[in-house]
């Protein structure tokens, strides 16, 4: 039995919630502070958890899961799984409430990860059931009949917070919960807080996509990487007090160009309002300093400071009394000073690379190599024929010897990498020439 680390909620209606993360199943749920978690091994159940107040076992919230054995690859597969779920709900002796089987699709309940089917449990408390990628999941509250009205919003909040790490959204939610728990454990006074899917440390929003990429590469180091991420984020937060006040002299040699999709810039032009609220435009001073590049891509600029990469804003240019062309000139000068491009990949019969990627080096992010003024000179000795490149993500850059390549197969490979990237840039092919980069 595990105890949620906070004050006891007693038998009263709780108001404070903490994320609970399953140590093995990779799922999370917000639980009232002070409630216990009791893991119940059930026959044929892959998961059964019961949360309840410290001194009241009659009030509880149960999470149960059983594998459905259906490979969900299409809407028809989902329909079959959902119909199977409805049959199991009707046949279950543990459900005495109403089940509306006339619905062709489950109704969307709250803000859950999957569309959920709602029904009433024993005491009239709300319950939910849904189909995940590999399981039937049921969530349900239980309390005295006279307490249903008081506990309904509590049970709804618990249900809406439930996430499984079997999709990108679910994996990010579980990871945010783990990061939050590590902050509250190791730095309880740091002021880390959660609001829905947003994690903040003071005024700074915390993004965990890069951390997830690191964990994907080294899953056995998950806890260590989370702890390191928390320490680094706290350090960056403390350093951020000086952000926006740097002098040009202090950052002049730290500015580098970055490639980003125009959609990234457009997204950055808006604040982050609450659900269903309009998105107010940012002022020009708050916008990123950026200029069009090729196709739907732009060049923006970032300061490569210790432990952080901060984009240059128009307000920075105004403070430095500088125009964007001067900024671009300095950024490209800094990039030109970086040398020693090291390649790894597959070689052809002539000993040159047929496919190559840049190794780790001094450059802030690997995609920036595509803007290097001397890139063709660096690559020409190592790749033959037309030299092609792809930059599907911020940290991914691919080079190809373009002689006899199957362009369609190549674009398919690039497209998959682009779709799976946490920081996608482009699914297009580029050609590297002595005069610069052009679309292939």
CA dist., res. 131 & res. 65, Å (int): 10
CA dist., res. 359 & res. 85, Å (int): 49
Helix then strand then coil, % of the chain, to nearest 5 = 35, 30, 40
CA dist., res. 337 & res. 362, Å (int): 10
Q: Which two tokens stand for residue 4?
A: 């949620």
CA dist., res. 40 & res. 1, Å (int): 9
**How many Cβ atoms from other residues are within 10 Å of residue 364's Cβ?**
18
* Beta carbons within 8 Å of 139's beta carbon, 6+ residues apart: 61, 62, 63, 116, 127, 128, 129, 158, 159, 162
Q: What are phi and psi of 58, to 5 degrees?
A: -80, -20
Q: Can you give the pLDDT of all 440 residues of the chain as single tens digits? A: 333 333 233 345 556 888 999 877 678 999 998 898 887 554 444 678 889 988 887 899 999 887 777 777 777 777 777 777 767 665 554 443 333 433 434 444 556 667 777 777 666 788 888 888 778 888 889 888 888 888 988 998 898 889 888 778 888 889 999 999 999 999 988 889 888 778 888 877 888 988 888 888 888 899 999 999 999 888 878 766 666 678 999 999 999 999 999 887 765 544 443 333 333 344 555 688 999 999 899 999 999 877 677 889 898 999 999 999 999 999 999 999 998 888 888 887 777 778 888 887 778 888 999 999 999 998 988 888 889 999 999 889 999 987 667 778 888 889 988 988 878 899 999 999 999 999 98
- How does DSSP assign 187-252, residue by residue? -TTS-EEEETTEEEETTEEE--HHHHHHHHH-GGGHHHHHHHHHHHHHHHHHHGGGTT---HHHHG
> What's the pTM value of the predicted model, to 2 decimals?
0.59
In this predicted model, what pLDDT tens digit does every residue of 359-408 receive, in sequence order?
877 788 889 999 999 999 989 888 888 899 999 998 899 999 876 677 78
**How many Cβ atoms from other residues are within 10 Å of residue 129's Cβ?**
24
- How does DSSP assign 363-409, residue by residue? SSSGGGGGG-TTHHHHHTTTB-SSEEEEEEETTEEEEEE-SS--HHH
- Please, how many CA atoms are within 13 Å of residue 79, restricted to the half-sphere of its CB? 6
CA-to-CA dists, residue 200 to 110, 133, 190, 196, 203, angstroms: 23, 30, 10, 11, 7
In this predicted model, what pLDDT tens digit does every residue of 166-195 receive, in sequence order?
778 888 889 999 999 999 999 988 889 888
Phi-psi region of 376 (alpha: psi -120 to 50; beta: other; left: phi over 0): alpha
């Amino acid at each position: 039995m595990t105890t949620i680390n906070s004050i006891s909620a007693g038998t009263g209606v709780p108001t404070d919630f903490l994320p609970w993360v399953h140590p093995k199943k990779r799922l999370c749920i917000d639980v009232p502070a002070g409630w216990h978690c009791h893991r119940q091994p059930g026959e044929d159940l892959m998961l059964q958890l019961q949360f309840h107040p410290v001194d009241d076992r009659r009030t509880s919230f149960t999470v149960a899961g059983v594998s459905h054995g259906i490979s969900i690859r299409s809407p028809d597969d989902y329909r079959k799984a959902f119909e199977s779920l409805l049959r199991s709900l009707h046949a279950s002796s543990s459900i005495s409430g109403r089940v509306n089987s006339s619905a062709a699709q489950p109704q969307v309940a709250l803000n859950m990860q999957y569309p959920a089917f709602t029904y009433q449990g024993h005491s009239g408390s709300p319950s939910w059931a849904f189909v995940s990628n590999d399981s039937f999941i049921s969530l349900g509250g239980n309390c005295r009949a006279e307490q249903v009205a008081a506990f309904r919003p509590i049970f709804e909040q618990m249900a809406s917070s439930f996430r499984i790490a079997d999709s990108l959204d679910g994996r990010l939610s579980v990871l945010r919960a783990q990061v939050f728990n590590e902050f509250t454990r190791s730095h309880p006074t740091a002021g880390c807080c959660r609001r829905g899917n947003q994690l903040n440390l003071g005024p700074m929003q915390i993004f965990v996509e890069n951390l997830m990429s690191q964990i994907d590469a080294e899953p056995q180091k998950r806890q260590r990487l989370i702890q390191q991420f928390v320490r680094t984020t706290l350090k960056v937060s403390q350093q951020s007090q000086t952000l926006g006040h740097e002098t040009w002299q202090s950052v002049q040699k730290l500015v580098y160009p970055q490639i980003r999709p125009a959609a990234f810039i457009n997204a950055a032009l808006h604040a982050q309002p609450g659900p269903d609220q309009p998105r107010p435009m940012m002022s020009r001073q708050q916008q990123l300093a950026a200029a069009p590049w090729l196709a739907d891509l732009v060049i923006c600029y970032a300061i490569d400071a210790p432990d952080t990469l901060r984009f240059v804003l128009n307000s920075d240019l105004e403070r430095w009394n500088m125009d964007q062309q001067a900024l671009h000139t300095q950024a490209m000068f800094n990039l030109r000073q970086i040398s020693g491009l090291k390649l790894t990949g597959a070689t052809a019969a002539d000993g040159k690379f047929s496919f190559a990627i840049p190794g780790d080096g001094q450059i802030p992010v690997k995609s920036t190599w595509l803007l290097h003024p001397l890139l063709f000179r660096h690559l020409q000795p190592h790749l033959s024929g037309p030299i092609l490149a792809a930059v599907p993500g911020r940290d991914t850059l691919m080079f190809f010897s373009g002689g006899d390549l199957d362009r369609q197969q190549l674009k398919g490979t690039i497209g998959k990498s682009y779709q799976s990237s946490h920081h996608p840039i482009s699914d297009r092919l580029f050609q590297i020439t002595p005069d610069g980069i052009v679309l292939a």
